[in-house]
Structure 1
Amino acid sequence: MVAPSKLHAARTARDRKTRIRLMAETMRHHASGPEDACTLRHLYAAGFTEAEIETYRDDARAMMRATPPVVVAASAARMEGQRLVQLARKIRKRAEAGGRA
């Protein structure tokens, strides 16, 4: 099991995009090789740490398939709630200004 601090360091690394691209290239290379697959040993041999493998592999797989990486986004209900909060703030601001704004 990887330490949470190492996972956090991998997630916030400055060279994250470069490392993901390199991991995707490594995976693609081994997938088209005689093994027909990229194993953890291949990634370790390429210089990736356990934390990097854990953190970057899904994005690297998505890059190999040319699909966008998984992005954790706010739900539709949350976005609607935020929009309603902004609307309420505008209404409150107008009311405080005497309805002139």
Structure 2
Amino acid sequence: MSAAPPNDCCATQDGPITLDRSTSQPSSEAVLEAVSSVTGRPAVPTEAGSPLPPLYHAIDPEALDQLVDHAAACQTDFSLSFEYASCEVTVSVDEIAIDPRPDAN
């Protein structure tokens, strides 16, 4: 990920928040990091707050990684959208867009 948005981005920005993604990081990990950053919720359980739900409740993480890796290898224009943790997540080869829903926080 390039730069993390501010923790209060959901309340102050309309529309999706787009983050550049490192192609060396698995897409499933990048999604967790991006949604965690946007919602302010930890990706793993901590004493500090309610964690994000497991990603596999929304999408198969291994399948996501394989799809994006294949699209990158073939230099194919690719994007996939799904709902996760009260956000609409759109993943492409080089970026992730997170569109928080009103109940995201």
User: What TM-score results when the alignment is normalised by the length of structure 1?
Assistant: 0.26
Greater strand share, 1 or 2? 2
Q: Which has the larger Rg?
A: 1
Greater helix share, 1 or 2? 1
User: What TM-score results when the alignment is normalised by the length of structure 2?
Assistant: 0.25
